[in-house]
């Protein structure tokens, strides 16, 4: 017989649970190192406190919920529905002249599709259709579009730019169109969503993907707070702080700004050792988790789309109001921070323009020695000519460096200057950490290497990293040195350094770099060990799996290769490199039709895939089908005119097909 608890026990359980959590937080904090979370009085910074989601918060804070869900943050991410989309359809197809692809968005019933196609004259010679699962962006500036391959998340090659009312390629695609292959990982998603969670062993497969930014991104996890309220532990917040959850207004101004900087500080994010992008919690110091690096430009004052925090911190208003008082609690009459002007619970579109002017007038009053702006503020003629007031002159809207078709207000408050003065282009001279004035040599070296890898592949950045490594050798990890060698294709140095690492203890990326160096040095046995380590560390990351399978095929370990490929193709059936290797494996096993099917499946995904065309050309030639072999060789050469192998095949096959 099932035992029933006395009813009074049901009321005590929540209270007991809350006491346990508080005790756990206190004990853990006492034992913690002196980082920002241990120093904070807010108990929900402890990593034992869980997230509850926006609907739980709604139960008590329905007024905040009703307005927040209409803000840019609240509408930052959602399912691809007609209601979510801000786009106008039935416009001209977007054409990428560099890669000769057209893109066309359309609705089919309630499903949003993106068609990629290619024309030869008026005939469609290629097409691929993907269904869009998610729309990212509130629609105030853009809607971008994500599709899902099995369980993995990718960006589609089409964005809607709301301000100009037009479709175009996403940012960055105009110089390098990766088509449907741009991975959406935690670094990207963690700024556009609540608290997403990546599947263990993956890079871009999520087992938790909330619909938009929510309350806990600014207030921290709410599990403890909810438990205390259910247990009847109430706090009169008019008299004292409720330390079960973060209220940003009760933080020192610098920690308050760090909450905004978590996402409104765009740049090269460099994680601290042992940290991840979901480790930051409101009330912590952002630089304890990661540092954000931006380039210093010569003769330039460009700004980026999400650079609000960086630009505001350059303003004299910000600097003078906060100088030397970083640890003091936020006071709106003393400090200038983001929330002086922005109420996070209310859409900026619903905020009256005069409320922004009023913030300026608190300091810049008529007759004040702090400003001569009273002429603009008091003149009826000026107010009529410029109804937007202070912002239009001192925070003008302008194009951004990184996002086409978008204008945003520059959050650097400064004296008016001409656009030609503000936007003079220049070359990048160096990197600096926006959220840490004194980065360590190791972090700066890491920033240089990752800047080269992600944004600007010029030897200049690697030279700077190398100089720091030579000057501070004791601070540099072997993993970072190996990454530098890998970027320089210096396999000899990389292999020498790898002798000092235990392969079983290396991270996936270091193991992969070691594998590539050994592979290029014709040491397949050592390469296989390192490929296996990378694959087993991230078994759902198909790029590593494809490399491992390819090495197994070359080592004639075909059954093992088939196991890896079959497993990953179930997870990600539209991965090009998996199908390339599946065809190669089938060809070695004498399964001709399966090899041709696999390589044709690859070309359905990417009609310009060099290896896919070359393998098919070679295979058709073996079968005596020289016409088909020539067709694929010519397709390879059209897409890759610098390929000597493709050119040689075309010349030879044309001689066989006069």
- Asked if the model's pLDDT at residue 23 lies above 70, the reply is no
Q: Is 283 left (phi over 0), alpha (psi -120 to 50) or beta?
A: left
Helix, strand, coil tally for the chain in percent (to 5): 45, 15, 40
Q: Tokens for 439, please give them.
A: 């980065």
Which of 39-43, 361-365, 433-437 has the highest average model confidence (pLDDT)? 433-437
Residues 622-640: pLDDT tens digits?
Answer: 999 999 999 999 999 999 9
Cα 379 to Cα 442: distance, rounded to the nearest angstrom? 54
Better-predicted residue by pLDDT, 575 or 426: 575
Better-predicted residue by pLDDT, 370 or 207: 207
Cα 139 to Cα 332: distance, rounded to the nearest angstrom? 31
CATH 1.25.40.10 placement within the chain: 449-656
Averaged pLDDT for residues 243-256: 91
Question: Which residue, among 295, 541, 441, 280, has the nearest Cα to 549 in the 3D structure?
Answer: 541
DSSP secondary structure, 250-264, as one string: GSBHHHHHHHHHTTS
Exposed / middle / buried, residue 139 (Cβ in 10 Å: 0-12, 13-18, 19+): middle
- Asked if the model's pLDDT at residue 228 lies above 70, the reply is yes
Q: What is the percentage of the chain residues whose pLDDT exceeds 70? A: 86
- Asked if the model's pLDDT at residue 26 lies above 50, the reply is no
Residues 109-145: pLDDT tens digits?
Answer: 999 999 999 999 999 999 999 999 999 999 888 999 9
Contact yes or no for 643/633 (Cβ under 8 A): no
Cα 248 to Cα 246: distance, rounded to the nearest angstrom? 6
Residues 187-224: pLDDT tens digits?
Answer: 999 888 888 999 999 999 999 999 999 999 999 999 99
Q: Which residues contact 181 (CB under 8 A, 6 or more apart)?
A: 154, 576
The residues pairing with 135 across neighbouring beta strands, listed in sequence order, are 78, 145
Exposed / middle / buried, residue 372 (Cβ in 10 Å: 0-12, 13-18, 19+): exposed
Average pLDDT of the chain is 86
Question: Which residue, among 76, 81, 116, 123, has the nearest Cα to 100 in the 3D structure?
Answer: 116
Cα 305 to Cα 404: distance, rounded to the nearest angstrom? 10
DSSP secondary structure, 280-320, as one string: --BTB-GGGTEEEEEEEETT-----TT-HHHHHHTSHHHHH
pLDDT at 2: 35
Contact yes or no for 491/472 (Cβ under 8 A): no
- Asked if the model's pLDDT at residue 420 lies above 70, the reply is no
- 592, containing H or E segment: helix 592-605
- Asked if the model's pLDDT at residue 9 lies above 90, the reply is no
Averaged pLDDT for residues 213-239: 94
Averaged pLDDT for residues 75-93: 93
Tell how many helices (H) and how many strands (E) occur in the chain.
Answer: 28, 17
Question: Which residue, among 506, 575, 592, 496, has the nearest Cα to 541 in the 3D structure?
Answer: 575
Q: What's phi and psi for 130, nearest 5 deg?
A: -125, 145
Long-range contacts of 361-366 (CB under 8 A, 24+ apart): 362/333, 363/317, 364/390
- Asked if the model's pLDDT at residue 14 lies above 50, the reply is no
- Asked if the model's pLDDT at residue 27 lies above 80, the reply is no
- Asked if the model's pLDDT at residue 32 lies above 50, the reply is no
- Asked if the model's pLDDT at residue 524 lies above 90, the reply is yes
Cα 612 to Cα 494: distance, rounded to the nearest angstrom? 31
CATH number for the segment(s) 449-656: 1.25.40.10
pLDDT at 381: 65
Q: Tokens for 6, please give them.
A: 């006395």
Better-predicted residue by pLDDT, 310 or 49: 49
- Asked if the model's pLDDT at residue 261 lies above 70, the reply is yes
Residues 528-542: pLDDT tens digits?
Answer: 999 999 999 999 999
Cα–Cα distances in angstroms (integers) from residue 506 to residues 497, 509, 529, in the given order: 13, 8, 12
Q: What's phi and psi for 215, nearest 5 deg?
A: -60, -40
Q: How many CB atoms lie within 10 A of CB 239?
A: 6
Confidence of residue 414 (pLDDT cuts 50, 70, 90): confident
- Asked if the model's pLDDT at residue 361 lies above 90, the reply is no
Which of 347-351, 415-419, 621-625 has the highest average model confidence (pLDDT)? 621-625
Residues 560-598: pLDDT tens digits?
Answer: 999 999 999 999 999 999 999 999 999 999 999 999 999
Cα 392 to Cα 105: distance, rounded to the nearest angstrom? 35
- Asked if the model's pLDDT at residue 505 lies above 70, the reply is yes
């Amino acid at each position: 017989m099932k035992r029933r608890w006395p009813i009074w026990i049901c009321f005590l359980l929540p209270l007991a649970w809350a006491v346990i959590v508080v005790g756990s937080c206190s004990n853990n904090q006492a034992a913690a190192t002196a980082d920002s979370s241990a120093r904070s009085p807010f108990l929900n910074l402890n990593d034992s406190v869980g997230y509850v989601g926006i609907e739980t918060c709604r139960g008590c804070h329905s007024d905040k919920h009703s307005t927040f869900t209409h803000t840019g943050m609240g509408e930052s991410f959602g399912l691809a529905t007609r209601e979510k989309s801000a786009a106008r359809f039935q416009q001209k197809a977007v054409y990428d002249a560099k890669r000769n692809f057209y893109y066309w968005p359309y609705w089919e019933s309630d499903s949003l599709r993106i068609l990629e196609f290619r024309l030869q004259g008026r005939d469609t010679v290629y097409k691929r259709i993907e269904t869009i699962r998610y729309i990212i962006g509130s629609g105030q500036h853009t809607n971008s579009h994500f599709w899902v391959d099995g369980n993995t998340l990718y960006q589609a090659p089409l964005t809607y730019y709301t301000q100009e009312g037009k479709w175009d390629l996403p940012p960055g695609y105009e110089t390098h169109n990766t088509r449907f292959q741009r991975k959406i990982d935690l670094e990207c998603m963690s700024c556009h969503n609540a608290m997403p969670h990546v599947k263990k062993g993956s890079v871009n497969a999520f087992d938790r993907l909330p619909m938009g930014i929510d309350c806990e991104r600014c207030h921290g996890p709410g599990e403890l707070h909810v438990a205390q309220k259910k247990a009847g532990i109430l706090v009169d917040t008019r008299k004292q702080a409720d330390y079960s959850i973060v209220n940003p207004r009760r933080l020192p101004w610098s920690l308050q700004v760090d909450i905004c900087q978590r996402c409104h500080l765009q740049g090269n994010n460099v994680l601290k050792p042992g940290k991840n992008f979901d480790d930051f919690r409101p009330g912590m110091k952002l630089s304890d988790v990661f540092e954000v690096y931006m380039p210093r430009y010569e003769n330039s004052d460009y700004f980026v789309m999400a650079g609000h925090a960086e630009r505001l911190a350059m303003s004299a208003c910000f600097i003078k109001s906060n100088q030397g008082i970083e640890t003091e609690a936020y006071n709106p009459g003393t400090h200038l921070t983001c929330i002086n002007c922005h109420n996070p619970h209310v859409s900026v579109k619903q905020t009256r323009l005069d409320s922004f002017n009023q913030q300026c007038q608190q300091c810049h009053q008529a007759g004040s020695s702090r400003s001569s702006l009273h002429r603009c503020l008091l003149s009826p003629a000026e107010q009529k000519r410029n109804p937007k007031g202070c912002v239009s002159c001192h925070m003008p809207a302008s194009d951004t460096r990184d996002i086409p078709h978008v204008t945003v207000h520059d959050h650097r408050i400064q004296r008016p200057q001409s656009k030609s003065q503000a936007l003079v282009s220049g070359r990048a001279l160096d990197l600096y950490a926006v959220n840490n004035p004194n980065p360590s040599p190791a972090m700066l070296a890491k920033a240089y290497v990752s800047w080269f890898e992600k944004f600007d592949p010029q030897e200049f950045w690697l030279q700077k990293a190398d100089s720091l490594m030579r000057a501070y050798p004791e601070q540099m990890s072997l993993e970072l040195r190996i990454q530098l060698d890998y970027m320089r294709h210096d396999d000899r140095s990389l292999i020498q350094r790898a002798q000092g690492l235990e392969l079983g203890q290396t991270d996936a990326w270091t193991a992969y770099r070691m594998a590539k160096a050994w592979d290029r040095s014709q040491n397949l046995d050592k390469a296989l060990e390192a490929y296996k380590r990378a694959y087993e560390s991230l078994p759902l990351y198909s790029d590593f799996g494809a490399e491992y399978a390819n090495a197994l095929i070359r080592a004639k370990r075909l059954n093992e290769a088939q196991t890896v490929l079959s497993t990953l193709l179930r997870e990600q059936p539209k991965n090009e490199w998996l199908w390339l290797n599946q065809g190669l494996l089938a060809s070695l096993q004498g399964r001709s039709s399966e090899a041709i099917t696999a390589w044709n499946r690859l070309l359905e995904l990417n009609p310009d895939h060099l290896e896919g065309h070359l393998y098919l050309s070679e295979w058709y030639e073996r079968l005596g089908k020289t016409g088909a072999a020539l067709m694929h060789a010519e397709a390879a050469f059209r897409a890759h005119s610098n390929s000597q192998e493709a050119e040689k095949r075309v010349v030879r096959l044309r001689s066989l097909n006069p």
